[in-house]
Each structure stands twice: as structure tokens, then as C-alpha cells.
Structure 1
Amino acid sequence: MTKQLLISLPVLLVFLYLCTTTFAQSPAEAPSRHQSAGKAHAPAAQAPAQPVAQSPAEVPLVQAPPRKAPIGPTNVTKILEKAGVFSVFIRILKNTQVINQIESQLNNSNNALTIFAPTNDAFSGLKAGLLNSLSTEQKVQLLQYHLLPSFVPISSFQTISNPVRTQASDTYEYPLNITTTGSIVNISTGIVNTTISGTVYSDNQLAIYKVDRVLLPLGIFAPRAKPLAPAPAPGVKKPKKEESSSSSSSSSSSSSLSDSPLASESVNASSGVSLTANAMASIGGAVLAAVFLWGQIEFAFV
């Protein structure tokens, strides 16, 4: 019994020592030791590099985002090419250099344009050889007839005043009348009647509308005489030139009458009558003188 106690006493002491050392550790330290024990076999992690303090002069400034290049004028050619049905219109614009005029106008923000763009089918509907028969000046006028010198949104055609002024010329030789029927916009040139079939492009400066016929102006395809000046009001004296011309015409008419054979016969007849009268008057005078003389002679003899 004594031996058993002596053997169990050291075991009990070892057990108590282990218990006291385990509970004496804090909860935070115990796992840290296990972690350190596990990290002993792993490679040491590199500590992050600490930023080196720099003087204010050495600290780089924050760069501003790059500025965008200024937006240029609207590229009318690209807009028409993207639509895909205006290749003939584009070709004529380039050949006549009217496209340069359009881009120059749009480059100024104070200018605005409205373009009626005929489709390829519209040009195909023209009489064969019609475009080739035009001079370069007439082609320029034809294209400018499709341009309005202002921005006209589709809703403003209802209140537009006719005839509409285009960039071609005056409204007498190049009239353009635009009317609306509900939501349909009608265009009349005096030769061609068509409608706007769609909006190709529109912003606050430029509007491009699709038309299915080429707008043919009267000034090129049906020239008409300008109206005469109004007649003078009644009671206004005629100019001296007209009076002199009338007098000269009367004198010429009289001279022409005198030259005619009937006029010469009448003149001869009148001259003959006057000669006969003169002869009779002279004979009568002679008779009276003889009678008077005969009376004097008889009186002398008595």
C-alpha cells in the first residue's frame, strides 16, 4: 500500500503541473504559439515596404484627364454614306464642290442648313442624259435649290411661308412651295410634286430629309419671261420722245400719202380748178375795163 502511494504521488504531481501551466496561459498566447510553431517550417513572409516620406516639392501632382479634341462640323458626306441610298447625290455634291460650301457653312455655329436629299432612285427617274446636258453652273444651281439657308424641323413646315427661299436664286425663277396634309409634307417646284419620305439626320443646326424625286426648278427646266413693268396711270403726260416720234410718224404718213398716185391726181385736179378760176377772173376784169373805156370814148365825141 505504501509503495502504491509512493508511485502514484509523482504521477499526480506531474499531472497537476501540466494542468497549472496550461490554464496559466492566456487564450491569445496559446494559439499564437501554435501558429509560430507552424510558421517555423514555412518561409518567412516579406513585410510590406513602408513608403518613404517625401518633401512637398518631391510629391508628384495629380495629372488632369486629357482634354478631348474639339468637335468639328457635322460631316454631311458620312451621314449620307451611312444611309446608303444617296451615292449619286454625294457624287454630284463632290464634283460641283457644293459639299465644300456646305461644310464651310456648318463650320460656323451661327449658320444652319436644311437639305432635301434625293435618293438614287430619284435620279434614276430623270430623263436619260438630263444631268449631262446641264452646264456646271446649272448643276450648282440645281443642288443649291435643294438647300434651305436655315434649320427647319419637321414640325415647322406647317407654319412656313411660301414661296420658300432656297440658296439657288430668287423666288421668281426658283420658287419652292411647301405645304402639309396632316403629317405629310408636300413639296412643289412648279414642275415636280413630291413628299418628304423620312428624316435622315436632325440636330439644332442641320436637318437632312429624304425625298423620292429630284426637285427641278423652273429657272432651269422651264424658263419663263419676267413680268413687264406696269403701264403708267391715266393722265400722265407722255415723254417728249414719244411726241417727237408721233410727229415724225404723222409727217412720214403725210409724205407717204403725197407720194401715192391718188394723192398726186388730187393735187393736179385742185391746181387745175384754181387756174381756171384765175383765168375767168382776169377775163371778167378785162371786159369791165373795155366797157368802161368804151363809155369814155362815147362821152368824148358827144
Structure 2
Amino acid sequence: MDVLLRLLGMLAVLLVGTGLRSVGVLDSSRTGRLNAATYYVALPSLVFVATYDRSIAALLSGALVVAVLAALLATAGIAWVLHRNRPAARRSVAVVQSYHSNLGYLGLPLVAATFDPDVTALASVVLGVALLVQVPLTVAVLSVVNGADTSVVREASTLARNPVLIALVAGILIGAVGAPVPVAVASGLDRLGSLVLPLALLCVGASLRVDRAVADPGATGWVLALKLGCAPAIAWATLVGFGVDAATLTAGVVMLGTPTAVSTYVFATELGGDEAFASRNVFVTTVASVASLYVLIGLVG
């Protein structure tokens, strides 16, 4: 019941963000500042605090890396086959939204609020590995299918400057060498990290568009099934096959069972995808994930 109440509370904050945008409180400028505070301060703080006091052996699990890659790439491949006959702009969006998860703004904060620090540390690794794969893959799929012009060097440079990845690497390195972190610093970062969930939910809510007309419900249904069902199922099967412990299984399955990231709408807008279709899918998978994550958490928790 606690998990269900937490998920329903998250949905309520999301809808508050949507409502604040609709009445003009969270306009583009304020949402941008809120997003910057979340992306550059709160989320990196959470990642660093979750990893800085752990050994590399405790964090970098080969099974977890393989499970993340298997879930992302296999789901992308299945989506490619299922949507191969759709118009290019819609096909590209359907493929990327089937695997591209909202790991930073929903996944990791949810794990941190629901499970113990061991699971949160492993979830931070899932976030880092997935960022290195799903962002370049999404840009590549949208660019190739839609014939959009993009710079691989620019995207690689952007990824290298990602504050979440920098915080993850810093945490892993400090944990590897056993360098002490002052208690006051760790405590301050921990408090900043605790702000991720409310800030991120408001940002996501302010980005959701619920006024789009329903288009191609069949394609949206497949996106929903692949993102919330297929991806975590592949991760689960892979991790169980490796015989991992409960914390690793929980981190991998819950993180990869999160809804489609809002950033896919941004990528679709910039790289020739179907914007209205992308917006609708983000909203549908986000709302539906309340039920699917409740089931997943119950199964692994």
C-alpha cells in the first residue's frame, strides 16, 4: 500500500506541474530554471551520494551492464520490426520511445525513495550505462530514418559533459581510492539529492501535453507494451539468467520499467519526428507506468 500511495503521489505532483503550466505559473522560463536546478544540481548530487562510498566491485556488475544493453537493443529491434511499415516520422518516434526510459527524472528518484541505498547505488549505474547507449541510439535512429542532419561529434561532446555521468564517474573513482568525503559535504549533497523527486516530477508534468488529438492508437499501444512490458521483462530474464542478487535484480528491472523520457519529444522535434505522436506517447506511458511500476515493485521488492 505504501508503494501505491507513493506512486499515486508522484502522479499527483506530475499533474500539478501540468496544471501550473496550463495556468501560466510554470512558463517556459520558470520551467527551464527548475529543470536546470534538477539536472545540474539535485540529480548529480543524488548520484554522487549513492556511489562515493562503495567499491567498484560492488557497483560495476557485468550482468547489470549486459541486462541494460539487452533490454535497450532488443526492445529497439522488436520495435523496428513492428513499425517498419509506418511513415518515417512516426516510425522513428515509435522505435525510440519503445526503449528510451525516463531514468533520471523518474527512475532513480523513485528507487531512492522506495528501496535501500544498495539498490539506489546500482540504479545509478543503470542510469549511467543507459545514458551512454540510449541517447546516441535515439539520435541515430531519428537522424537515419528522417534524413535529419546532426553532428556525431557534437552529440558525443554533449554526452561527455553530462553532469550525471560526471557525478557517477566521480563517485566511482572516489569509492575506488577510498578518498574521504567530509561529513558536511556529504550531508549537504544528500539534502540536495532529496529534492530530485519533487523537482523532477514538476518538470516532467510541466512538459506533458494532454491536449493532443489521439493519433494511431495501435502504434501507441505497441509503444506502451514494449516500454512498460517488454524492456523490463528482457532485463529480468537476463539478470535471472546471470543469477544476480536481489538488489541488482531490483535496480535493473525497476529502472528499465520506467516510462518514455520527455527528452524523446525534444529529440523528435529537432530531428524530424512526429511531434504530436511523440507527445501523446510520453503522456500515455507516464500515466500507465503508475500501474506497471506498482506491479514490478511488488514482484521484485
Structure with greater strand percent: 1
Which of the pair has the greater relative contact order for Cα pairs under 8 Å at 6+ separation?
2
TM-score, scaled relative to structure 2: 0.18
TM-score, scaled relative to structure 1: 0.18
Rg bigger for which structure? 1
Structure with greater helix percent: 2
